[in-house]
Structure 1
Amino acid sequence: MRLITHLRHVDLAVPDYDKQRDFYAGVWGLTEVASDSGISFLAAEGSPEQYVVRLRKAAEKRLDLISFGAASESDVDALAERLRAADVRLISEPGKLDTPGGGYGFRFFDLDGRTVEVSADVAVRKHRKLEAKESVPVRLSHVVLNAPDIDATRTWYETHLGFALSDTLAHPRMGQVMHFMRCNPQHHSMAIARGPHTSLHHISFELRGLDEYMYGTGRLLRAGVRMIWGPGRHLAGDNTFSYFLDPHGNTVEYTTELEELDEDTWHPHVHDFSQPEVTDQWGTANPMNELIAKESFNDVDRGVFVAPPV
């Protein structure tokens, strides 16, 4: 039984906090809704989530945590019990949260040592419908994680958190390189990419539509933000993509029109990404090559099996 409903937020720690905060609250188009000494909570204008990114000032860059939603406190408790019975290492027991919007949740380590939070009953943020040509993120779309053994990580998320496989990318020489995983009808809320070490691959943000996605892509290019891949349209998920680097070298994506699946009838495909139309149906993006792939390997994550301090 699936107890996870959706992706809530992705939390990052960085040494140059001011530069990172200026990027996300500035050209990237998020809205700072709360801040404390060395911590910033950033919301997407069209999202009911209290925040979609949390930034924390730290000596070393790391992924602090990934947060998912659950439908109720009883579902949070049931999931904690399920994980405990399976000897998954809990960081905290279910209880009241003191982040913006409150709620009830707990944290644990996944197979690769990432901190995961699951919460329910978080207050809904007052949000709004974005206007035509307004090129800021509507919501958080998905997160992609690098893992040395993508099959083991996929199985862990299927077994313990009820995620389902939507599609897989493979290559004739390299074998399987990415699993797209869903926790609701959206094609993927998370994907697992094959990388040399545990790290963040990219965070993706949904824009209002094609026009807004292109306006946003252009705004970033004019601002001198480095685009590593795009603009284009993937086959798996059928969503658009423009990948940029944030000031600390994390890959962040503007996307739109991510496919919604009929979960009862969907069967996963294996797509051969050596075929150019698999990576980009439009043929407008720069070719995917080893240099681009290495950008998204990111640095070795210093937060593996180390819970964030807040």
Structure 2
Amino acid sequence: MLHVFKLGFAAFHVQDMQAMKKYYEDIAGFTLTETDKNGSAYFSTSTDHHNIVLIPSDRSGIHSFGFQYESEGSREEVIEHLKSLGIEASKAEDGHPVMKDVIAFQDPEGYSVRLFRETGETKKKGFKSAGIVPNKIGHLSVRVSDAKAQVEFYKKLGFDNTDWIEDFFGFMTCNRDHHVLNFFTSETKGMHHLALEMRNYQHLISTLDFLRLNGVNIVWGPSRHGAGHNIACYHYDPEGNLIELFTDGDVYIKELGIFDPRPWHKDFPQKPKVWKTDECLSLWGVDFEKALV
């Protein structure tokens, strides 16, 4: 009935629209595709109408996030299917121009989630030539009161649990990426980080030089994580949202229950497992000058 397969967008509350629009257009290298009557700005990596949404607000932080789905059923039938799973979903008619069959619900932690059948294409197709210019938004990490409960909820939507860091950090995917969502048990609520996928290590390193020349400081990395094995580094956007740049993440082969083997794996085959914190955050021994958890 329902196949969720792609992280489509992340939307943010924004206090300083000028600074954030400049960051996502000139630094991140997204393309501004539309500004609506309410002042919300929509940005695309390449072909989708939008992958980032900036919404004028009196506060900062995550507003909502959305996933693309396919289904043989109508939107109404998908909504009824979700309700049968205990998910109070409804039609969403506003806030995302050109998207089709948008469905809205809140997850158990109160995060606003959208499902959409079609994203709509931007007329300004293609990647920009300056900025970070990521392949895509790769994954989203959010703080929750109970990561285990959150993981069980997203399993209802067809997500797979790929790894854990002890019992407080759960990783989930809806495709072959190691994760498109992860949940961090915390005393506070909000986004932990948004990750942008780079093409390769050279793209990542050249981007770090670009960030330095444009006054953006790296708070940690680069280093290779344990869970996911992605090479990653982190910085903040103008409103304090933590942004990860990563490459070389694990590829999940669901049919085999393993990750596609890589020379840097410790286990052969590498399977979903529970990692210890000290073996997971940095396989290269890069110390955290500022804790990310």
How far apart in 2 are the matches of 1:292 and 1:75?
45
Q: Aligned pair in 2 of structure 1 residues 135, 24: CA closer, same or farther (>3 Å)?
A: closer
Misfit runs of 4+, over 6 Å: none
1:130 deviation in Å? 7.9
How far apart in 2 are the matches of 1:193 and 1:241?
18
2:165 paired residue number: 169
Do structure 1's residue 152 and structure 2's residue 149 form an aligned pair?
Answer: yes
Identify the match of residue 275 of structure 2 among 271, 276, 288.
Answer: 271
1:298 paired residue number: none
Paired residues of 1:44 and 1:137 also in contact (CA < 8 A):
yes
Q: Aligned pair in 2 of structure 1 residues 152, 28: CA closer, same or farther (>3 Å)?
A: same
Q: Which amino acid aligns with 1:20?
A: M
Do structure 1's residue 197 and structure 2's residue 197 form an aligned pair?
Answer: no
How far apart in 1 are the matches of 2:97 and 2:71?
18
Paired residues of 2:61 and 2:241 also in contact (CA < 8 A):
no
Q: How does 1:1-310 map to 2 (within 5 A)?
A: 3-36=3-36, 37-45=38-46, 48-72=47-71, 74=73, 76-90=75-89, 92-93=90-91, 99-125=96-122, 127-128=125-126, 135-159=132-156, 161-170=157-166, 176-266=167-257, 267-275=271-279, 278-283=280-285, 285=286, 287-288=287-288, 291-293=290-292
1:73 deviation in Å? 6.7
How far apart in 2 are the matches of 1:182 and 1:193?
15
1:88 deviation in Å? 2.6
1:248 deviation in Å? 1.2
Q: Give the unaligned 5+ runs of structure 1.
A: 171-175, 295-310
Paired residues of 1:135 and 1:208 also in contact (CA < 8 A):
no
Q: Secondary structure at the match of 2:79?
A: helix
Paired residues of 2:5 and 2:67 also in contact (CA < 8 A):
yes
1:44 deviation in Å? 0.9
The count of corresponding residues between Structure 1 and Structure 2 is 278
Q: CA RMSD, aligned part only?
A: 2.3
Identity across matched positions, percent: 23
TM-score in terms of structure 1 length: 0.82
Higher relative contact order (Cα pairs below 8 Å, separated by 6+ residues): 1
Paired residues of 2:28 and 2:132 also in contact (CA < 8 A):
no
1:121 deviation in Å? 2.5
TM-score in terms of structure 2 length: 0.86
Paired residues of 2:29 and 2:128 also in contact (CA < 8 A):
no
Q: Which amino acid aligns with 2:252?
A: L
How far apart in 1 are the matches of 2:282 and 2:74?
39
Paired residues of 2:33 and 2:122 also in contact (CA < 8 A):
no
